[in-house]
Amino acid sequence: MDILFGKYNGKPIGEIPDTYLDWLLGEPWFITNKKNQKLIPEIEHELATRRRSRCYVEDQYGKTLEDI
């Protein structure tokens, strides 16, 4: 599934940095927008998979969920 807005518009969730996905899940504007309701479980699943496998996607600063 692709993100259809913002900095990562058109990118598959699997290619988006951990820190951005984690940030999205903490943002009220994202969580309450009905257009995002299908994305939320996909993002949660992606982040859980990355945590289990310890296979992270770095942001532009080289940070991952392991760093925060």
pLDDT at 38: 93
The tally of CA atoms less than 13 A away on the side-chain side of residue 39 is: 20
Q: What is the DSSP string of 7-57?
A: GGTT-BGGGS-HHHHHHHHT-HHHHH-GGGTTHHHHHHHHHHHHHHHT---
pLDDT (mean) for 52-56: 89
d(CA 37, CA 57): 23
pLDDT (mean) for 33-62: 92
* pLDDT category of residue 60 using cuts at 50, 70 and 90: confident
| Average pLDDT across the chain, whole number | 92
- In this prediction the pTM is 0.85
